[in-house]
Amino acid sequence: MGLRVLAAMSGGVDSAVAAARIAEAGHDVTGVHLALSANPQSHRTGARGCCTVEDSRDARRAADVIGIPFYIWDMAERFQRDVVEDFVAEYAAGRTPNPCLRCNEKIKFAAVLDRALALGFDAVATGHHAKLVDGVLSRSVDQGKDQSYVLGVLTRQQLGHALFPLGDSTKAEVREEAARRGLTVADKPDSHDICFIADGDTRGFLAERLGSAQGPIVDQSGEVVGSHSGAHGFTVGQRKGLRIDRPAPDGRPRYVLSIEPVSNTVTVGPRSALQVSTIVCGTPVWNGPSGRDDLTVQLRAHGEVYPCRFEERVGGLSIELDRPATGVAAGQAAVLYSGATVIGSATIVSAS
């Protein structure tokens, strides 16, 4: 007997093909589009975003072609609180959050999954590029599109009620299949960046909500080398957009090394000063096997992976890298892998 599956349909090609595959496999599928914006735009801005009226219409048309019931769920208030306000608060605290990861954790696999189970559904299916075999999460065959990192925060219980039908396909194969199925989203551009910042101006978005406050940019010795209008407009590892009045003596570019929100100070220095080998994280979420063979950690979405070792401590996790990483920012997730399999994740607190 097939499962009752709620297919989350963003209006893009991936979620449409995922829903079609689940339906074709004989499951009882219902499509749902999440309305995440209280005042959605009529059209997307370039390839940014996934929460417009146009996207909801694309999702509905795809559901019609597949032949499944379709609904729109208003999640705007929950999204505003758990994702947008969290994003702003994290930057205000000098950390660098990942809103896509938070959306998966708090919206798609908390609010939506909870409601789906309460309504009698067995699972939620999404168009994420990741594999899920017997409840164990691993990387997609398409390394360039792999999204296991942003799913690494999910618990075993949540993964036990999830379906990711695209894990064995490349993005090119998904688009070809969408065209064969007559889905009009086959050639639709991917959404990217932060969906609730349609113009891509993160600094402007934060300034509008946190205001402007003049502060110093200092070098590692504490000497003032420039000024800024808000420390929340920077992230560790950033090179561009720094208002530096005094060039480095060696003429080399400077990077953001740290952000201190209390004193509103941004510290800059050479790229070599960004290198870290020890990462301290908060309480981990273990969602895979406990094996430690071929252990690696990924520190950013689509970022490089690093061979590592880890040690659990009271209330947290310490990760030792076999080679230094750069641009490691507090607030990001450290996702641990054994080979291609996700074993757990934790939020980065500090790095040295």
Report pLDDT for 285: 95
Residue type, 325: A
Closest residue by Cα to residue 145 from 162, 133, 128, 164: 128
Tokens of residue 209, six digits: 């909500």
Which residues are marked as active site? 103, 195
Tokens of residue 306, six digits: 């690093």
Closest residue by Cα to residue 269 from 280, 255, 250, 251: 255
Q: Which residues contact 48 (CB under 8 A, 6 or more apart)?
A: 191, 192, 193, 195, 197, 198, 199, 200
Instruction: Report pLDDT digits (tens) over 183-226.
Output: 999 999 887 668 888 778 888 899 899 988 899 999 999 999 99
Instruction: Report pLDDT digits (tens) over 126-165.
Output: 999 999 988 899 999 999 999 999 999 999 999 999 999 9
State how far the Cα of 177 lies from the Cα of 13, in Å rounded to an integer. 10
Of the chain, the percentage scoring pLDDT greater than 90 comes to: 74
Q: DSSP letter string over 168-202?
A: TS-HHHHHHHHHHTT-TTTTPPPPBS-TT-TT--H
pTM of this structure: 0.92
State how far the Cα of 93 lies from the Cα of 90, in Å rounded to an integer. 5
Alpha carbon of residue 321 to chain centroid: 22
State how far the Cα of 187 lies from the Cα of 34, in Å rounded to an integer. 22
Q: What distances in angstroms separate CA 253 from CA 100, 194, 268, one per listed residue? A: 30, 27, 10
Closest residue by Cα to residue 141 from 149, 151, 130: 130
Show the low-confidence residues of the chain (pLDDT under 70): 1, 38-51, 192-193
Report pLDDT for 284: 96
Quick count: other Cβ atoms within 10 Å of Cβ 118?
Answer: 8
State how far the Cα of 335 lies from the Cα of 73, in Å rounded to an integer. 30
What are phi and psi for residue 348, nearest 5 degrees? -70, 130
